[in-house]
A and B are shown apart, each in its own frame.
Chain A
Amino acid sequence: MTNYLWRLRKEIWASKFMGLSSSLPVFLILLMLLGLFLKAKPLFVLKPLSQIIFSSHWLPLKGHFGLWPFIMGTLWVTLLALFIAAPISLFVAIFLSEYAPSGIREIARPMIDLLAGLPSVIYGVWGVLIIVPFVGRYLAPLFGTYSSGYSVLAGGLVLAVMILPTIIHVILEIFRAIPQAVREASLSLGATKWETIKHVLLRQAAPGILAALVLGLSRALGETMAVLMVVGNVVQVPRSLFDGAYPLPALIANNYGEMMSIPLYDSALMLAAAILLVLVIIFNLIARLILLRVEKGLR
């Protein structure tokens, strides 16, 4: 009996402890948001939040902290990266999982994982040396404009390459989890491999593919180093892919600690960080909503 009580007590302790640990991430996010907003609060005395967010007026010395160019810079670069990376990663994953002989798959898989782990400054240097001149010298003239090369397009390209391996890795795992018998069911009806992929595997994998894309997006939103090296860091709302931009993470990383003598500058940076966090949360929520709809159609 006492033995039983002892075991019961351990059971309760274990569940409580683990429950507490699991609530930690939730608390951390709330705590971060709260901390950032508290730090940014002095800024709101000057102007309401909506005016700061939607204003393009960035003159810190005169107390104008319009964050709109930075928000737009972030969105342009991130979404461009996702648009480039999404189809490519899907094609690569489908090829490796459904068409490639196992030899190629076994070589490609670790190489892709290696790419995912490269330090972002390496991607940055590669971007400066190759992508920026390529955009400035070849792509821009091709479209009849001038660009230094330091642009949204360069940022989007470098970022796309950076998030590709992560997305491919996750989608590969998802395809691997689909039982062979599902493929056989479709093939046995006389469908070709491609028809099976298009009508069956992609449907089955849709929720997982979406999750992989959101993972890539989240990573792209927060990526700092490589992007700030190639986007030009110009305070403006970009109007074309060849314009320079100044994403939020670059703003924070470039100026934190240096510009602190300017009044309220630190508050503006904290607000920028808070907005970045909110953007990540919003994208995740949107993905979750789409996911719910997709799954409703499947199960």
Chain B
Amino acid sequence: MSLIIGRPHISLKNLNVYYGHLQVLKNITLDIPDRQITVIIGPSGCGKTTLLKTLNRLLDSVEGVRVEGRVLVDGEDIYSPGVEVTRIRKKMGLLSQRPQVLPMSIYDNVAYGPRIHGLKNKQQLDQIVERYLRIAGLWDEVKDRLSEPASRLSLGQQQRLCLARGLAVEPEIILGDEPTSALDPQSSQNVEKCLLSLKSQYTVLLVTHILRQARRIADYIVFLYLGEIVEHGPAQEVLNNPRDPRTKAYLSGEIS
């Protein structure tokens, strides 16, 4: 049963994820709509981050993890053998909880991805760096100090730099793992604004525990509880008329 309108960008089919004997995700079947902001909400420890990391196969580097079921991106099963993992990851930009700038200059942070994928032309790199720093709303703040270490930026600026860095490899999907949780309200707002402006070209999948944030930017909501999807649907429906009593309880603050 698909509740979304239009073509799904990512489809999860009977996804189970185990850490050793512990089952973290239980039989997840879900379609994530193309070019909308999908927000996954749920109390901490419910499997939100695991779900996100399943999508770009970052779970691969965790020992003792077992993934069952299918994850289709653009119709391709990313867990089928022979899939090029780096190509899958290149399709998705990741924003982590705390901004993780790489130990290099602001310029090199953005140029890192394109360089890894073989771009050497200085002029093209210059263009890419400027273009994505502008999209992330950071260009005017950093254009005169591109060669400074990225770690000198404020946390809010760092997170926008991470966004620019992720966009520079030209992904189709943006994954955000509570990307504003370490930021002050002003910086959070900047990041949210960026995400809203990006949804016309990118599929955005965001994990958050801030309900107000979900209300502000979500088109589609998924409520995850104890590793199961309890309810999902268009944001207004789920947020205003939740059908499941657990969703009601979470939205009213009784489960957290």
Contact = CB atoms under 8 A, between A and B. Distances in A.
A299 B98 CA distance: 17
Interface string A180-207: 0111111111111101000110011000
Contacts, number: 75
B112 interface: yes
Given A187-B58, A188-B166, A192-B86, A299 B151 contact: yes
Interface in A132-185: 179, 181-185
Interface of A: 101-102, 179, 181-193, 195, 199-200, 203-204, 297-299
B134 interface: no
A interface secondary structure, majority? helix
A114 to B, nearest CB: 25
Interface of B: 56, 58, 61, 63, 86-87, 89-90, 92-94, 96-98, 100-104, 112-113, 116-117, 149, 151-152, 162, 165-166, 169, 175
Contacts of B100: 179, 181-182, 184-185
Contact of A185 (B90, B96, B151): B96
6 contacts: A182-B100, A185-B100, A188-B56, A189-B113, A195-B116, A200-B102
A187 B103 contact: no
Given A181-B96, A182-B102, A190 B117 contact: yes
B interface secondary structure, majority? mixed
Contacts of B151: 298-299
Nearest to A202: B103
A105 B113 CA distance: 30
Contacts of B98: 181
A189 B149 contact: no
Contact of A101 (B63, B90, B149, B162): B63
Contacts of A102: 63
B94 A188 contact: yes
Contacts of B104: 199, 203
Contacts of B116: 189-191, 195, 199
A275 B104 CA distance: 39
A188 B92 contact: yes
B108 to A, nearest CB: 9
Contacts of B175: 188
